[in-house]
Amino acid sequence: MTSSVVHCPALFLTAPASNQGKTTITAALARYFTNQGKVVRVFKTGPDYLDPQILAQASKQPVEQLDIWMAGEEYCQDMLYQAAQVADLILVEGAMGMFDGEPSSADLAARFGIPMAIVMDVKGMAQTAAAVATGLANFRDDVQVAGLIANRCGSERHAELIRDALPANLPLLATLKRDEEITLPERHLGLVQADEVKDELEVRFEAAVEWLKETQDTGLLALPNAVPFYATKQVDDNQVIEQSLQGKTIAVARDAAFSFIYDANLIALKSLGAEVVFFSPLHDQALPDADALWLPGGYPELHSKVLSENLSMRQAIKAFFHSGKGILAECGGMLYSLEDLTDLDNQCYPMLGILAGQGAMRGKRGCQGMQTAVIPQGEIRGHAHHRSRSANTPEPVGYGRRQRHPAPGEAIYQQKGLTASYLHLFFPSNLDVTAKIFLAGQQG
């Protein structure tokens, strides 16, 4: 019989703001302990596709999202409990600043009792870094802070000034020198996808391990204290839902153009009884035999010419659409579904044409945020993050409901079996709605 509580060392990497080096340091720590033969399970706070790819390669273990709003407390609790049963160390990388968002990284850490380490880019400051860290550590009584990680620290004298200014109960865990060779590569929506730079990342991970070892403060290189993780009290009342995709095959687009896929979503589809197969709109000439399609987000704008020139695939998906079977097209998948797409070089290419309208990239301006998709099938949570626009699209069947703002969120379109939107859906937040989307045209 499995114990209802499992203890596992755990640390939550947070920061006063974005771009402080959280992902680089989390990846370096994951590889450091993995090289020691430890099983390191890493989680990423909030909706994110690119960081988890990096962290999964660094840890050589699957990486999933933790978000109390998007997934629910019970889901997060269950993910941590399952990880604690197999891991020697759990690392959680926060999002944005420590107290940003509702719920914030601090809310998540407080809820599950995980101590936080503050990552701070200390270039251009010394004692002030200690003051900011002290303020963050004392802002709330329910958050435990293990110490400060001083990133981009210029010298041992620089580190000494910070160390001496910190209170005794807030140690300097590590002082990491400035090293641009460690920094992870980026592009317009964030980090470059791990599959595109696997070999380069391996070099950077191993260099990052040596980078960690050079710190004069070694608190970060020891396993943190163990944290109790508790089993959820789940009631098996989902038997009908679990059978709802039994015998169905869902074909998922997955290649360099379409890769924004939560592992949790694939697990959810399989838990509903579906068989999941993959295909490449870039390279394949035909669809696999399937009852439904999922066109996830990604970077179709970087591959629009090749997507457009793959006429046999475009025709195959059009035929699938006209059959009335279920298709879910999210963000980049929706852009692919439109009549044409104008890329970052202002070149326009024909796309699938299964949804009326045109898509176009718009540089650095964009839209992001947590939203609940409100559609005839019900409500399901997700998020938006895009730097494109669409025009001349049909009348929506619904809109996203923003987490904290009354204005309508992203438009959601449904035609025949197609559901299309800029929203990226998190399937575990409502398995019943997920199944209904993919079963479009097949009920009854």
Residue 214: both structure tokens together: 């050079």
Amino acid at 47: P
Residue among 322, 344, 261, 245 nearest 295 (CA): 261
Token pair belonging to 396 = 């929506």
Residue for token pair 């340091």: 25
For 323, counting Cβ atoms within 10 Å of its Cβ (0-12 exposed, 13-18 middle, 19+ buried), the class is exposed
> Which tens digit of pLDDT belongs to each residue from 348-369?
999 999 999 999 987 665 567 8
The dihedral through the CA atoms of 372, 374, 378, 383 has a sign that is negative
Percentage of the chain beyond pLDDT 70 is 91
Give 11-26 pLDDT, tens digit per residue.
999 999 999 999 999 9
Burial of residue 190, with CB atoms counted within 10 A of its CB: 0-12 exposed, 13-18 middle, 19 or more buried: middle
Domain boundaries, the chain: 5-230, 239-438
Q: Residue 187: which pLDDT band, with cuts at 50, 70 and 90?
A: very low
pTM over 0.75: yes
Structure-model confidence comparison of residues 183 and 236, the more confident one: 183
Question: How many other CB atoms sit within 10 Å of the CB of residue 113?
Answer: 15
pLDDT at 236: 46
Whether pLDDT at 268 is above 50: yes
Q: Is there a catalytic annotation at residue 331?
A: yes
High-pLDDT (> 90) share of the chain, %: 78
Which residue among the candidates 8, 76, 331, 348 is catalytic per the annotation? 331
Q: Give tens-digit pLDDT for 117-143.
A: 999 999 999 999 999 999 999 999 999
Say whether pLDDT at 45 is over 80.
yes
Give me the CATH topology for the region 5-230: Rossmann fold (3.40.50)
Alpha-carbon gap, residue 242 to 274, rounded angstroms: 9
Same fold, 5-230 and 239-438: yes
Give the domain 239-438 fold.
Rossmann fold (3.40.50)
